[in-house]
A and B are shown apart, each in its own frame.
Chain A
Amino acid sequence: PARDMAAAAAGLRALRRAAGPWAALGRRASSVPARIEEKRRAALLGGGPRRIEAQHRRGKLTARERILLLLDPDSFDEYDMFVEHRCSDFGMDADENKDFTVFGGSLSGAHAQKICKIMDQAALVGAPVIGLNDSGGARIQEGVESLAGYADIFLRNVLCSGVVPQISLIMGPCAGGAVYSPALTDFTFMVKDTSYLFITGPDVVKSVTNEDVTQEQLGGAKTHTAISGVAHRAFENDIDALLNLREFFNYLPLSNRDPAPVCECHDSSDRLVPELETVVPMESTKAYDMLDIIHAIVDEREFFEIMPFYARNIVVGFARMNGRTVGIVGNQPKVASGCLDINSSVKGARFVRFCDAFNIPLITFVDVPGFLPGTSQEYGGIIRHGAKLLFAFAEATVPKITIITRKAYGGAYDVMSSKHLRGDANYAWPTAEVAVMGAKGAVQIIFRGKQTDAEAEYVNKFANPFPAAMRGFVDDIIQPSTTRKRICHDLDVLASKAQSTPWKKHANIPL
């Protein structure tokens, strides 16, 4: 649909309507039920067979087909099937509107009203909002009414933020002002090759900046998942996207008043993970894949990674531990040594805040050599952006479990969910090195280039977990193979964690 916002809690009874009242109505006025049926039939056909066919030719499904695949059977109750657009200028006096096969899915005032209504309802009962976006943008013919419609939606997006999870799935063009609704939601997913997101299209770009750029280059799935960081994942086609969205949805609580979901778990919570004993290489300069650790620890190796191709030096995503949804943050030694830079800080910070808003415990795997030095980072404001991740971890009150697998150097050690930022359980593997910096750099500074054998001494003193453990900055030095067991146990204990922050209107995160 243009923008079909459907409250899509699986089987959410509050949103169900029975057919009963209509039947009762039928007895009173015989012409009314007939008209109802006729209108419904017409509505279900959307823009008619010709437009539906055109949509299919583009490799896309109609709104109703998409909803059929997204939701559990028979759980969708449509609202406002009878709403009609209120515009009769420019020959737009057809009967009703809903679907992208109707008026190219452009947003009319009536259309926005429908979306707002469903969002209000979702906020009221605490149900997540899922938007399937496939819209030509504002309905130019309606002028300012359509703009007002957008603003109404933006406001709801903002008010719902942190109340119910909001997910946008971009399944076609989404341009101009329309892009800000997905940008305000918690997660934006895209369909490869058939969806685009941009403020202005290639034609306008050409006339303003004289750049030649295709739709795909400007705002395709690859651009937004790898370069801009606007979208969080991309999927192969409509069906693939909808099925993945179903899977993703199961990780989320229904609202900020619900606990993180716990699924039936078949993976034993005290399973030992022997391969973790050897996963960290002996040489501290050698890389390894943090995903190997994450996959080995979580339930059934299932990890729903968020932004897998953007700022790959940090890994974030959802998994389950003993059935309970957890948010995982990990430095990725395989990419840029796992350092923190502007993009990875922002990526991490937004994810941490989502988890905190929706009661999802955070598990952080630390192997970080520090913040990335250099002019491009400093000029870009690494101080300001790095502070976001620090802020997000510090303010989070959900259970926080941290495992230092190897390096935890400098300020980045503090940032990565350290004990000092109210970490609940902070562990170090025997390979951990908690220090202000690497031995070589430290010795260079301390001894100013004088030949000394102090490097070995520094390694001996600091390149191990003891200094941190002695001070209680890590709660225990654990055998890597027992990590899963420890985390599952801690999550059980921390399930009743209640922590509060001083009263405030809202905090002022360094944006």
Chain B
Amino acid sequence: KMLCSRRCLVTSRQLYSVVHDPNEKTFEKLLVANRGEIACRVIKTCKKMGIKTVAIHSDVDANAVHVQMADEAACVGPAPSGQSYLNMDAIMGAIRRTGAQAVHPGYGFLSENREFAKRLASEGVTFVGPDTHAIQAMGDKIESKLLAKNAKVNTIPGFDGVVKDADEAVRIAREIGYPVMIKASAGGGGKGMRIAWDDEETREGFRFSSQEAASSFGDDRLLIEKFIDNPRHIEIQVLADKHGNALWLNERECSIQRRNQKVVEEAPSTFLDPETRRAMGEQAVALAKAVKYSSAGTVEFLVDSSKNFYFLEMNTRLQVEHPVTECITGLDLVQEMIRVAKGYPLRHRQTDIPINGWAVECRVYAEDPYKSFGLPSIGKLTQYQEPLHLPSVRVDSGIQQGSDISIYYDPMISKLITYGSNRAEALKRMEEALDNYVIRGVTHNISLLREVIIHPRFVQGDISTKFLPEVYPDGFKGHKLTDPERRELLATAASLYVAEQLRSQRFLAQPENRRDGAGVGAGARWELSVNLEDGVYPVTVSKSDSTFSVEVDGMKLNVTGEWNLASPLLSVTVDGTQRTIQRLSRDASGNLSIQFLGTVYKLQILSQAAAELSKYMPEKAAEDTSSILRSPMPGTVVAVSVKPGDTVSEGQEICVIEAMKMQNSLAAAKTGKVKAVHCRAGDTVGEGDLLVELE
């Protein structure tokens, strides 16, 4: 089975250089305690450094790409990560068995686990990361804030304790500077939280918050801290060795987030000027030195609209978004981490660290962006092709055609990184790369990514962590077609339809007179009717040579395309504008789905005659969805809160589904009696599976 599976290494252009001195002694064998793209990423650098690699995997990952790439592999348990990728006993066993001298933890899983680092140290195995002291110090929110304060790093000014009365609240608020946030010390979930912009609001907020805090939590201690309005999330990459040297490798702008997860990142940030950058970098380095940090780490800051920056936390691991830093600095962070772990001093000085060009990273996820900016989707990647044929594109992925995206792990498909000499170029390349990325079999978020990177606010650099909810207050609904774009899409779709029809009339093995297109070949006029987004458009197509002349909305468009209809990517030129589109599916009923400008459009194309008659076709009764509850995503049922016969009220929780580390509470759509429950806690359910029926 493994005969053809050793994967060729050069699958993605790197955009960073592994400058490896073969005389520099390094580890002989390294175990990568992770899976997916980050495991592959680490293995790639190890190969270049001549280090043998050991992959660990769960049962279901036995055929995963990272396992194929590694020199050795060890199964560490069943699919749930708690029993495999977090199973320290099994991983320690694998280390002993394979004789790995070092462990790279990647991100997530055990990467910031002090216990794991300790166990490795006790067995004389090197942990590629900071020492346990730094992990512990930075892992604790209060301790890390205190440490940062002592290292003269800006922290969010605030007061934590009992505020006597409204006057004291005003005094503290003035000290901190408006706006301030008043919240219950014991609080959570937005309860007892008020934002105040002046004295008056502070008094009011104090009253409300203390009342709410007392009634909700029985604890009226209040926290007053500076409210960072419209903050940006900007982080500084640091790199430190075991000899007291530390560098800052510039910033990454990670403001585009949904549910506190980053979606689009870039380096550098449009927002920072050299002074702010230096100030942030120096503070980050100061913090790293204060905790005797070694290895690569990230200091996260919130930056307000006046470029005031405040320490948020420090991540003591390699970050997901490290590639953008690698692109602009040319460093291989994994290699530097391994060197530092081996005990070598840093090879660079601060003045050696450049900002060359601009890099943008999009996190491509298997999720449906139309549902709260991304609910996980699972499935088999029936077709998968990375846009590596384009210049300055890097794709970090750990999957391949045929891979399963399962409910057990993070649904990230890949990180798509483009690089340019400036931001505009990097973004243009990203646009093309997204259009040329073929992902079939799972729902993905390419549409959202593409909309974000072409949005005028994003292009201008006017972003904050609230970007998505601000730009799409009613949720993301895909690209909005302009009139010319709609015409272009209609013309393209109609031309593709005709091309397909013409092809289906060409029979090769038939005697001439037995089968031929009865006078509907080249030169004929096709009177079509195209359904798109609740509109019906008459479209006329005729073909001469390789050009389709299309009439739509009274406009004439020329569509050129000598297409290979089997190709997942189709290059279409409409009146001189070239685009890459993807025809995702077609069927005999005239349904067509086309990925156009990143968004998937569903069209139906019928002959005028059929469209005319379709008005007689009976409407199919739609399922009444208010009395049934279906799973919105694949996952595991964690809890079912009702049983048949129960009366539920609208909005009441019926069950909880967990998918990819997220718990989702599903509520009743109407008040009624439970008729039947089709799931039990622990069941695995697919998207659209019937869970509960109401009467």
Contact = CB atoms under 8 A, between A and B. Distances in A.
Interface of A: 9-13, 56, 59-61, 65, 68-69, 72-75, 193-194, 235-240, 243-244, 246-248, 250, 254, 258-268, 274-279, 282, 292, 295-296, 299-301, 323-324, 430-431, 479, 481
Most chain B CB within a 10 A radius of its CB, from A323, A324, A431: A323
B609 A68 contact: yes
A372 B609 CA distance: 50
Given A74-B519, A430-B1, A275 B589 contact: no
B616 A60 contact: yes
B510 A246 contact: no
Contacts of A239: 589, 606, 610, 613-614, 617
A72 B519 CA distance: 9
B620 interface: yes
Given A239-B610, A300-B566, A430 B3 contact: yes
A-B pairs, 8 with minimum CB distance:
A275-B402, A11-B518, A59-B618, A247-B588, A267-B566, A262-B509, A266-B566, A75-B518
B508 A13 contact: no
B670 interface: no
A152 to B, nearest CB: 28
B457 interface: no
A263 B508 contact: yes
B564 interface: yes
Contacts of B401: 274-275
A68 B610 CA distance: 9
Nearest to A76: B518
B694 to A, nearest CB: 25
Interface string B511-544: 0011111111000000000000000000000000
A71 B391 CA distance: 48
A260 B509 CA distance: 8
A277 B519 CA distance: 45
Contacts of B3: 430, 479
Interface stretch (B269-277, B499-507, B592-600): B499-507
Given A261-B509, A263-B507, A300 B565 contact: yes
Contact of B609 (A56, A69, A74, A261): A69
B516 A59 contact: no
Interface in B1-22: 1, 3-5
Nearest to A71: B518
Contact of B616 (A56, A236, A276): A56
Nearest to A235: B589
A246 B588 contact: yes
Nearest to B400: A274
Given A261-B509, A296-B382, A59 B518 contact: no
A153 B691 CA distance: 50
B518 A240 contact: no
A263 B506 contact: yes
A265 B1 CA distance: 31
B402 A279 contact: yes
A9 B513 CA distance: 12
B402 A243 contact: no
Given A69-B607, A69-B613, A292-B380, 18 more contacts: A10-B516, A11-B518, A73-B518, A73-B520, A193-B620, A238-B616, A239-B606, A247-B588, A248-B588, A254-B514, A261-B507, A263-B506, A275-B401, A275-B402, A277-B4, A299-B566, A323-B508, A479-B4
Contacts of A324: 509
6 contacts: A193-B620, A238-B616, A239-B614, A263-B506, A277-B402, A300-B566
Nearest to A264: B506
A345 to B, nearest CB: 29
B142 interface: no
A146 to B, nearest CB: 29
A11 B509 contact: no
A317 to B, nearest CB: 13
B516 A11 contact: yes
B515 A10 contact: yes
Contact of A65 (B402, B588, B613): B613
Given A243-B588, A243-B589, A246-B588, A72 B517 contact: yes
B402 A61 contact: no
A214 to B, nearest CB: 16
B1 A431 contact: yes
Interface of B: 1, 3-5, 62-63, 380-382, 400-403, 503-510, 513-520, 563-567, 588-590, 606-607, 609-610, 613-614, 616-618, 620
Contact of B610 (A69, A235, A301, A323): A69
B613 A61 contact: yes
A84 B567 CA distance: 54
Contact of A264 (B503, B516, B518): B503
A281 B604 CA distance: 38
Contact of B617 (A9, A72, A238, A261): A238
B507 A262 contact: yes
A254 B513 CA distance: 12
A247 B503 CA distance: 12
Contacts of A238: 613, 616-617
A165 B609 CA distance: 27
Contacts of A247: 504, 588
B519 A11 contact: yes
A275 B382 contact: yes
Contact of B618 (A193, A265, A299): A193
A320 to B, nearest CB: 11
A344 B565 CA distance: 35
Nearest to A282: B62
Nearest to A254: B514
A481 B509 contact: no
Contacts of B381: 275
B518 A277 contact: no
B516 A261 contact: no
Contacts of B1: 277, 430-431
A244 B588 contact: yes
A246 B509 CA distance: 19
A236 B503 contact: no
A243 B610 contact: yes
B4 A237 contact: no
Nearest to A66: B613
A262 B567 contact: no
Given A11-B519, A68-B609, A295 B618 contact: no
B155 to A, nearest CB: 50
Most chain A CB within a 10 A radius of its CB, from B510, B609, B616: B616
A45 B102 CA distance: 86
A223 B119 CA distance: 63
Nearest to B440: A301
A11 B610 CA distance: 19
B517 A10 contact: yes
Nearest to B609: A68
Given A74-B518, A279-B402, A261 B510 contact: yes
B556 to A, nearest CB: 23
Given A11-B517, A69-B610, A258-B514, A264 B508 contact: yes
Given A263-B507, A278-B63, A324-B509, A9 B402 contact: no
A106 B504 CA distance: 36
Given A243-B590, A263-B506, A72 B514 contact: no
B546 to A, nearest CB: 15
Given A59-B617, A59-B618, A240 B519 contact: no
Contacts of B63: 277-278, 282
A274 B5 CA distance: 9
Nearest to A73: B520
Contact of A237 (B400, B513, B565, B618): B618
Nearest to A304: B588
B618 A250 contact: no
B593 to A, nearest CB: 14
Given A237-B617, A243-B590, A261-B510, A295 B515 contact: no
Nearest to B3: A479
A262 B508 contact: yes
Contacts of B510: 254, 258-259, 261-262
